[in-house]
Amino acid sequence: MSQAAVAEHDLGIEPAESPLTPESWGKLGMWVFLAADAMSFGGLLAGYGALRYGDPTWPIPKTILGIQLTAFMTFLLICSSVTMVEALAAIRAGDQAGLRKYLMLTIMGGMTFLGLQAFEWTKLLFIEGESVAKNNFGATFFILTGFHGCHVFGGVTYLSAVLGRAVRGVAGAIVTAVVAVACTFVLIVVTSHFVSGLVAVIAAAAGAGLVYLVSSALAGPRPTYDAHNNNEVEIAALYWHFVDLIWILVFTFVYLI
């Protein structure tokens, strides 16, 4: 490794070496991962379409699923995408406080989404009597929305790690991400035991508040990201927007059509 590359590595800046991606190897890596992940979702959606098209007894989704609630969840993810681009814009302008604020709002959006999904699943499983084993509708619904929910959970953890890193390097990232995982898990458990979507929102706000307090308590003397070094934030943002993009398709194909 050249001296320049070592110096760049020490500063957390990636060397610009490739004509394929002069900006960032990390960004290229994330795009390749997202393309592979999109094919997983594409396979699941294609399988869903094939099963549904071949079954004349397939129920009309809007008679079973709560369209208004999921429309709100869709709107929530769209809002979280906006806060994510605002977080990136903030750090590109060198605004550390803006980055932390918008990242926190994005994490809160993801947590609320998961809480509402736990609420929706509880209602379907224990009140409506649906299940993954009941019929193809149940199997495809729970697998598709569950797979997406896992991505949202991963996204909340990932963004929490970025938030932790924004305040205190790797140690902060690990502690904040662990707190986010614990908060999200508790949120899901709490929400799935109370049949009220409002509980999800309140629990998410409380959980996100705890993540924020932990990250604030960890605040280090020197910020990790600035106007010149924000590649990690951009890569994390790509993942979060992908989760939003996939939900737009899942919402249409599974809930609306």
Partner 1 sequence: MTVHTPEQLAHEHRRYLQVFFWLALLTAVELAVVYPHISTLAKGLMLVVLAATKATLVALFYMHLAVERRTLAYIALTPAVLCVFLLFMLLPDLGAFTRALTHATPVTAEAHE
Minimum distance, C-beta of residue 242 to partner 1, in the bound complex (Å): 7
The residues in 17-56 that bind partner 1, with binding defined as CB under 8 A, are 20-23, 27-28, 31-32, 34-36, 38-39, 42-43, 45-47, 49-50, 53-56
Complex with partner 1: residue 5 or 195, whichever CB lies closer: 5
Residue 227 binds to partner 1 (criterion: CB under 8 A): yes
Cα–Cα distance for residue pair 172/178, rounded to 1 Å: 10
DSSP track, 90-101:
HHHTT-HHHHHH
Phi, psi (deg, nearest 5) at residue 13: -105, 135
Cα–Cα distance for residue pair 43/38, rounded to 1 Å: 9
Write b or e for each residue in 98-136: b if 16 or more Cβ atoms lie within 10 A of its Cβ, otherwise e.
bbbbbbbbbbbbbbbbbbbbbbbbbbbbeeeebeeeebe
Cα–Cα distance for residue pair 108/100, rounded to 1 Å: 12
Cα–Cα distance for residue pair 76/160, rounded to 1 Å: 18
The residues in 79-108 that bind partner 1, with binding defined as CB under 8 A, are 79, 81-82, 84-86, 89, 92-93
Q: How many other CB atoms are found less than 10 A from the CB of residue 205?
A: 15
Minimum distance, C-beta of residue 238 to partner 1, in the bound complex (Å): 6
Minimum distance, C-beta of residue 168 to partner 1, in the bound complex (Å): 22
Site size toward partner 1, by CB under 8 A: 58
Residue 205 binds to partner 1 (criterion: CB under 8 A): no
Minimum distance, C-beta of residue 76 to partner 1, in the bound complex (Å): 11
Minimum distance, C-beta of residue 227 to partner 1, in the bound complex (Å): 6
Q: Which residues bind partner 1 (CB under 8 A)?
A: 13, 20-23, 27-28, 31-32, 34-36, 38-39, 42-43, 45-47, 49-50, 53-56, 62, 67, 71, 74-75, 78-79, 81-82, 84-86, 89, 92-93, 227-231, 237-238, 241-242, 244-245, 248-249, 251-253, 256-257
